[in-house]
Structure 1
Amino acid sequence: MISAPILDNESKRQAAVEKYRLLDTMPEDSYDNITSIIASVCDAPISLITLVDKARNFIKSGHGVDITESERDISFCGHAIASDDDIMIVNDAREDVRFKDNPLLTDFKAIFYAGVPLVDANGYKLGTLCVYDNKPRTLVAHQIKALKAMGKQVMHLFEERYKTFKLLAMQKELEERNEELKDFAGIVSHDLKAPLSNIIMITKLLKESEKNLSQQSIDYLGYLRDSSNNMSRYIDGILQFYSSNELVTEEYDSVSYVDTIEDVIAMTVKDDHIKINYIPEYDTTLLTHEVALKQILMNLMTNAIKYNDKEETLININLEENKEEYIITIRDNGSGIAPENLKSIFKLFYIATQEDRNGKQGTGIGLATVARLIDHMQGKITVDSQLGEWTEFKITLPRKGTLETA
């Protein structure tokens, strides 16, 4: 008997085997189906998918046998991966010097063997797809072709497994980074909020005694107050953005459409020149995330009010529903959005308009938060606009349960 040789690139080959995390794993239907099919095609009582480990053959799938591993140095598969051929066929192991007195031959009657190496994209031979028989024989052309094709399919399953692990690792890394960013935003915001509050308070006190100040000092205090307020809004927006996913849980709320609209109007509309149109008689119960929905509507309505250059601000809210989703549309008569800005307005920190009607610059966080919330709710949002005339946001949310019309 000649022991199965150790390859020149053994350390790299072994690393390639281990990266798929298949050693010592349980049987799986996807592999067992292949060994069953190839045993039938080759008319062989035994078919295996093996991975050649350091000192053993690990049998990932075994059709016709109950063992899960064998010694590498006596294995046929160890010789198969050392061969330069794309298939190794041993018609009669009793006449092959490599397998004379081999325990697989003497104890298990492994007389016939045919195996194709499982080769990864880098050329490393990981193991084999093989068949055994207890009598001397040959394979015909279509059986050889099928064995090679199935070997490629096994390698395809290996690669898909590896890609899945990489994707899961990337997902975990992204989740960890998002948590780190969220923690960072919380820490930085907390550290900044206190001194900002002090600055705003001191500015207010100084303004109250402005009769003792020069006009230049008064102007500087105004700049300081506005900058501090802008920074405070920016910090609040960052915190809101990174905590938005906490508003969407696996549980859903029964939400009255009319009550939700009335609550949002109460929190956003402060002037008589703002007119909100919706159909109060059309009350529907939505099974959704109440806090997240209110946050979305408040943000969109606040924007519709702030970025409106008309004497009278008009906002139309409409709800449509079908078997699979409900659609909320918010349309205003404001200053509109330039066509070149429409595709970017949901990006974090993107500012489409320099100033609102009060001369304040936006943070570029609000609409990004809206988009993030809707994504967590498995919905979508679109925008259309005519510069100088109107803007319309359309929110589509999946129906999570039966909606009942009052």
Structure 2
Amino acid sequence: MQLNTIPKNEEDRLLAVKSYNLEKNQDNTDFNNITELASSLTNIPNALISIVEKEKVWFKSAKGLDICSSDRNLSFCNYAINSDDDFFIIEDTTKDLRFINHPYTKNGKDAIVFYAGVCLIDENNFKLGTLCVIDNKPNSINTTQKNSLKILAKQVVKLIELNKSNSKLRQTKRKLVKRNKMLKGFATQVAHDMKMPLANMILTSDILKSKYKKSLDQKGEDYINNIKNASLSLNNYINNLLNYYENSNLSKKNVETFSFNQLLEEVIDMLNIKVNCSVNLPDKDEDITTNRAALELILLNLITNSLKYNNKPETIINIHLNTTNTNFYVIEVSDNGIGIPTKKQKKIFKLFSTIEETDRFGQKGHGIGLSTVKKLVNKLGGNISVKSTINIGSTFKFSIKKGI
């Protein structure tokens, strides 16, 4: 029996094999389909996909053989990758001087008598292993069958490389999820830590105005008002950030059945509207089943925007609910506001994207509200869109899955 030699690039070849990080199992349908095809196309009963490591050869797929690995020094696949040719074939090992005394040749009814293996060569020209067909009696394959094996071997390499790419993507995704979780935690902690100092600044501004009212001139009072307004604006910004991050996950435990119009009335009460405004609720009140807190926040943001971005003597807001769809509730919030420019309509749902520099109250938007709305709508299994005409108004239409 002739002993195997080691390839000149063995060290780099082993690093290449390791880099693909293939799982050592045989339950992958794609690999198993290839060995099935190899066996069928060549009319050879056994087919293997082998990966040649430092001391062992293990089999990613085994058609017709109950085998997971073998000693590399005895493996025919090792001979194949050490060969100068990329296709290694032995038609009768019992008559080949190199293998006449090989243990696998003298293995009784399980003897390897015929072997044909195509090297699995990656993009860097490293031989990772083989796609081979095996018989326990002398055999042969024709040129067409050889070409078929070569084509299948290339597909095996593509699968191996795809597995590596997918593995990298999974690792990247895990890192991103971990990093986003850390950023979310950091943002939430910072936001909570800032709320108390801001509350103190707002309270201190009111105390200063009250206690030193007689000593303050108009300029001094304006300074204090600016401090308070800036603090209120920052406090609102922090609340929006907290809403955005704290509503990332919606639990099915919070799903309940409730009156839609009653929810709207509660939202309107929370807003404490101080401008001339008419909010028209659906004519027919209906019970719906969804995450109440999430829908409340969606409606709160949309109605708030209708109030803030309006220059008419009377703000008119119309709200419609359609329950006829089998799977979704469809809700529309329309207003007669300033409208949204066409070029901005595709961007308004992105985080930190704003419609105008300031609203009707002189406050600058932070571009978090509509991003939160879209996020919540998506979490509720639906989609949101907007139609708007400058100086005529806007209609936000969104769907949410029934019962989620």
TM-score, normalising length from structure 1? 0.91
**Correspondent of 2:394 among 387, 391, 394:** 391
In 1: Cα distance, 2:295 partner to 2:330 partner: 12
**1:204 Cα deviation after fit:** 0.9
2:256 is the counterpart of 1:253: yes
**Correspondent of 1:227 among 217, 230, 238:** 230
**1:310 Cα deviation after fit:** 0.8
**1:97 Cα deviation after fit:** 4.4
**1:390 Cα deviation after fit:** 0.5
Describe the superposition over 1:109-149 as per-residue Cα deviations: whole angstroms up to 9, x where unpaired. Answer: 21211111223333322211110112222212332232222
**Residue of structure 2 in register with 1:161 after alignment:** 163
AA in 2 matched with 1:228: S
Aligned residues: 400
2:153 is the counterpart of 1:129: no
Worse-matched range after superposition: 248-257 or 8-17: 248-257
In 2: Cα distance, 1:84 partner to 1:298 partner: 73
**1:250 Cα deviation after fit:** 7.1
**Correspondent of 2:331 among 307, 323, 328:** 328
**1:188 Cα deviation after fit:** 1.3
**Correspondent of 2:221 among 218, 221, 233:** 218
**Correspondent of 2:384 among 356, 381, 386:** 381
**Residue of structure 1 in register with 2:297 after alignment:** 295
AA in 2 matched with 1:233: N
In 2: Cα distance, 1:392 partner to 1:8 partner: 70
> % of aligned pairs identical?
38
Describe the superposition over 1:382-402 as per-residue Cα deviations: whole angstroms up to 9, x where unpaired. Answer: 11211121011111223457x
**Residue of structure 2 in register with 1:318 after alignment:** 320
**Residue of structure 1 in register with 2:198 after alignment:** 196
| Residues 336, 385 of structure 1: 8 Å contact kept | yes
In 1: Cα distance, 2:398 partner to 2:251 partner: 16
AA in 2 matched with 1:148: K
**Residue of structure 2 in register with 1:39 after alignment:** 39
SS of aligned partner of 1:285: strand
Runs of 4+ aligned structure 1 residues displaced above 6 Å come to none
Residue ranges of structure 2 left out of the alignment (5+ in a row): none
Which residues in structure 2 correspond to 1:5-404 (within 5 Å)?
A: 5-107=5-107, 108-208=110-210, 209-249=212-252, 252-268=255-271, 270-271=273-274, 273-286=276-289, 288-320=290-322, 321-400=324-403
AA in 1 matched with 2:234: M
In 2: Cα distance, 1:243 partner to 1:3 partner: 66
In 2: Cα distance, 1:395 partner to 1:232 partner: 28
In 2: Cα distance, 1:262 partner to 1:226 partner: 28
Describe the superposition over 1:301-354 as per-residue Cα deviations: whole angstroms up to 9, x where unpaired. Answer: 111111111111111111223234332111110111122211211111122211
**1:193 Cα deviation after fit:** 1.7
Question: Superposition RMSD on alpha carbons, in Å?
Answer: 2.2
TM-score, normalising length from structure 2? 0.91
Q: Alpha carbons of 1:160 and 1:269: their partners in 2 closer, same or farther (altered >3 Å)?
A: farther
